Amino acid sequence: MYDDFKYGLSTIPDQEFEKYSMVCDRKNFRYTVYAKVPFIDDFHGRFYSGGDALHYASNINYPTLSIPYYKVEYSFNIWGSTYLHTFDTLFNPNVMIEKKELSLRMRRAIKTKKSSMLVHVLKFDPPDEKMLALNLPNQVIIFDVKKMSRVFD
């Protein structure tokens, strides 16, 4: 599992961004993303107030809120050469409303004196292992491989 700021909310396609639209907003692809409502990022244990920037367009390589993912790598040994096929599978966002205990900072941001209240919670669910599998036929395979590394015994 990786969580290295490779994927952020500004640079994902609209169709993927829609999954986050309950808690954040952006004008367009590669624009700055702001929190629409106060929410807790349950995966990273962070709290964001409404209006907080989650991914600056001016700092596109370092999103504030990073999307975790699985890096999947398949290697094929054919006639002494190793061919690599890699892809990433993003964790699925899951926005819920839950009753949470509020820290002092959260209470200040939400402007409430209550010690607990209903708040949006962003969770990241890992994809099932079956989603990472490649089913390969045992006959002829035409595979578009970009990386090849030679292994000498």
Partner 1 sequence: MKRLKVKSIAVWIPSDRVHASLLEMGFSVFDTATTVSDGRFWNKSLFVRREERVSVSEEIGDVYPKDPIITICGSTNTINEIIGVLD
Within 31-90, the residues that bind partner 1 by CB under 8 A are 69, 86-90
Tokens 């010690």 -> residue:
115
Amino acid, res. 6: K
Q: Which is nearer to partner 1, 16 or 52 (CB)?
A: 16
**Contact window for partner 1 (CB under 8 A) among 7-15, 45-53, 96-104, 107-115:** 7-15
Proportion of the chain in helix, strand, coil states, percent, rounded to 5: 15, 40, 45
Contact 83, 98 (CB under 8 A): no
Within 123-142, the residues that bind partner 1 by CB under 8 A are 127-128, 130-131, 135-137
- Exactly one of 113, 146, 149, 150 binds partner 1 (CB under 8 A); which one? 146
Q: Which is nearer to partner 1, 115 or 138 (CB)?
A: 138
DSSP string, 60-122: TTS-SSBPPEEEEEEEEEETTEEEEEEEEEEPEEEEEEEEEEPPHHHHHHHT---SEEEEEEE
- Exactly one of 7, 20, 39, 43 binds partner 1 (CB under 8 A); which one? 7
Binding site for partner 1 (CB under 8 A): 7, 12-16, 29, 69, 86-90, 92, 127-128, 130-131, 135-137, 146
